[in-house]
A = this chain, B = another copy of it.
Amino acid sequence: MRAFVRVKVPASAMSTAKDRASPATLGHMRIDDLRTPAALVDLEKTERNASRMSERATLLGARLRPHVKTHKTLEAARIQVRGHFGGIAVSTMAEAAFFADGGFRDITYAVPIAPARLAEAAALARRLDRFAILLDDPAVADAAEACARDRGVRLGVFLKVDCGAGRAGVDPELEAGVALAGRLASSPHLDFRGILTHAGQSYRGRNAAEIRTVAAAERDVMTGFASRVRRAGVPVGEVSIGSTPTLSVANDLAGVTEVRPGNYIFFDATQVAIGACALEDVAFSVLVRVIGRYPRRRELVVDGGALALSKDPGPVHVDPECGYGTVLDAVGEPRRGLRVVSLSQEHGVVRSARDLAPGELPIGSLLRIVPNHSCLAAALFERYAVVRGPDAVIAEWRPVRGW
């Protein structure tokens, strides 16, 4: 299935830089027909990233439930699930509804749920083959059970575990987590699916070796906690983990049943810096034009600011001078010596390490910027221009937005 080529986009829907009187037709569009800033998705790299992660999951013996929060589009999600069972993870209830409408039948809402959203969760549980929420607190377990009972549905639930990220999840060392697993498993209204974690601390790694240590700890914490829960007489179905850095370098996931990476579909400057991928793997960039040229201070201003790139500070623990992304030329080749040194709302300041030659990068020139965090940058756009090869625009994908 090659979902992307079936996307029909009227030429008028693609935002072009040219006069409306003569719109470029999609299929003959080039990136210089685009209004800037524009989100570019390199289709071949997206598919290659998907294939590689698909193969890694198979090799590691875990089923792949890709996270779709990085792109939030049906088209990219369909590429991610190729050859796998079709389940996905989402980060908002708006995504859950959007992907359900788009034909996905097995969805995990992978953020601890607010009790106010349980009614929506119950409706999704009724509508889909499988829908699961996650929680880490007895009060939410009570509310979820009451909601499921009142609505006559069986609501899938994962117990969220903190494997060292220090964000959400039960402490796997404490008895309370085991007790909560038992509480979930004993409810006739809840379908206790298993335990789930996200090793967010992997982003603090500085290289593949450090991330591999995090990956081993993530696995060991989860399989150890699963054993404790099972010893307490509570069956644990899934042992679900997910982070692009750890899954990009892990070499043994014995005991893990499911993986939920997301960022890998695009990657970004942070993943390059920490050793999870190479720069040529990054499938997402922001196309900008030079709108100001200041050779005396070796600077350019481009029309991509904080609302196009996000102000994610990037991998400063690896490269304090990383700025707000990695600068590429118009067709995606690295432009060494150019850095995005500051962002305001609609301006990006790009500094050159050497004097700009006369006529170099004149106003109007196109550049691409690989953002520090593609999840945050992609969410800033209403549409992505899907590119094949150096500059052919072949489709438009529209992400879902909001909560």
Residues of A within 8 A of B (CB): 15, 17-19, 35-37, 69, 91-93, 111-117, 119-120, 123, 136-137, 139-140, 166-168, 171, 200, 289, 291-293, 296-297, 301, 303, 306-308, 310-313, 342, 344-347, 349, 362-364, 373, 375-376, 379-382, 401-403
Contacts and interface: CB of A to CB of B under 8 A. Distances in A.
A345 B37 contact: no
A312 B301 contact: no
Contacts of A93: 35
A303 B139 contact: no
Contacts of A200: 344
Contact of A310 (B113, B137, B310): B310
A17 B143 CA distance: 15
Integer count of this chain's copies in the complex: 2
Contacts of A289: 114, 116
B113 A349 contact: no
B296 A91 contact: no
A137 B293 CA distance: 8
The CB with the most chain B CB atoms within 10 A, among A17, A139, A140, A297, is that of: A17
A349 B171 contact: no
Contacts of A36: 114, 116, 403
Nearest to A308: B403
A167 B291 contact: no
Contact of A345 (B119, B376, B402): B376
Q: How would you classify the secondary structure of chain A's contact residues: helix, strand, loop or mixed? A: loop
Given A115-B363, A311-B311, A311-B313, 10 more contacts: A17-B114, A17-B117, A69-B346, A91-B345, A111-B347, A139-B362, A139-B363, A200-B344, A311-B312, A381-B402
B363 A291 contact: no
A388 to B, nearest CB: 22
Contact of A111 (B123, B137, B291, B380): B291
Nearest to A21: B119
A210 to B, nearest CB: 19
24 contacts: A15-B402, A17-B117, A35-B93, A35-B116, A36-B116, A36-B403, A37-B403, A91-B345, A92-B346, A111-B346, A114-B291, A115-B364, A116-B289, A137-B363, A139-B362, A139-B363, A168-B292, A168-B347, A306-B310, A306-B373, A310-B311, A311-B376, A345-B375, A380-B380
B376 A15 contact: no
